[in-house]
Amino acid sequence: MINCRIENNTVKDDGSIKRSSGGGISLPHTSYTAVIDGGTIAGNKIDMSAKTSAASLLEAEGCGLDCSAKLGSITIIKGHTVIENNQCIPHPHTSKFCDCKGMGIFCGGGRLTIGETGKSNDESPEILNHGNSIPERVDVAGTALYINGGSVSWQRGRIHDNGPNPNNTIKNIEGTLSNLSETSPS
């Protein structure tokens, strides 16, 4: 995908399964190689309001991008790709809560590369403006990036302005994060 705009899409699942994923892009749960080069993934939502699941805890994964679900799947984000302001909308029933894993990106068991060595930050991805306004009854782990057993190589680019808790910007659960960007997430 080169210079594509994936904006203002909504996944609104009214089924009884408690999990939804990929508000903007959901890549397959098979082996693949996908390259996202430039463009925007912004304003996408996972809307849990119509879920009929009896579960009191609903699960959202990757409001902007759900990728690298399986070993052998490879996602490469390069160029000035902007992943911004993706979010989760809770169920209206006050007894239902939402566990949101990765408002920007959810990375499963495969590989994810962010940016390219030798490029400036202006030529590299930005992941921003997630987690600044989290609705009630939504718990977010990894406002910018949630790593669930995958392998992430952050080579260049900026991950910034993703809520008041910089320790929650990237959440790594049993995966690996190689930060070659020489910058810290915020």
Q: What is the pLDDT of residue 52?
A: 87
2 pLDDT band, cuts 50/70/90, is very high
pLDDT in tens, 88-104: 999 898 889 999 999 99
110 burial via Cβ count (<10 Å: 0-12, 13-18, 19+)? buried
Confidence of residue 181 (pLDDT cuts 50, 70, 90): confident
CA pair distance 106, 25, nearest whole angstrom: 11
Return the pLDDT at 102.
Answer: 97
Q: What is the pLDDT of residue 14?
A: 81
Residue linked to tokens 């590989």: 111
Q: Give the pLDDT of residue 182.
A: 82
Average model confidence (pLDDT) for the chain? 94
DSSP-derived 3-state class of residue 45:
strand
pLDDT digits (tens, 9 = 90+) for 12-52: 988 888 999 999 999 988 899 999 999 999 999 999 999 88
| Domain boundaries, given as residue ranges, for the chain | 2-114+130-163+170-179
| Least confident residue range of 51-60, 107-116, 137-146 | 51-60
Q: Please answer whether residues 39 and 2 qualify as being in contact, where contact means their C-beta atoms are separated by less than 8 angstroms.
A: yes
Share of the chain above pLDDT 70, in %: 100
22-38 per-residue burial string, b: 16 or more CB within 10 A, e: under 16: bbbbbbeeeebebebbb
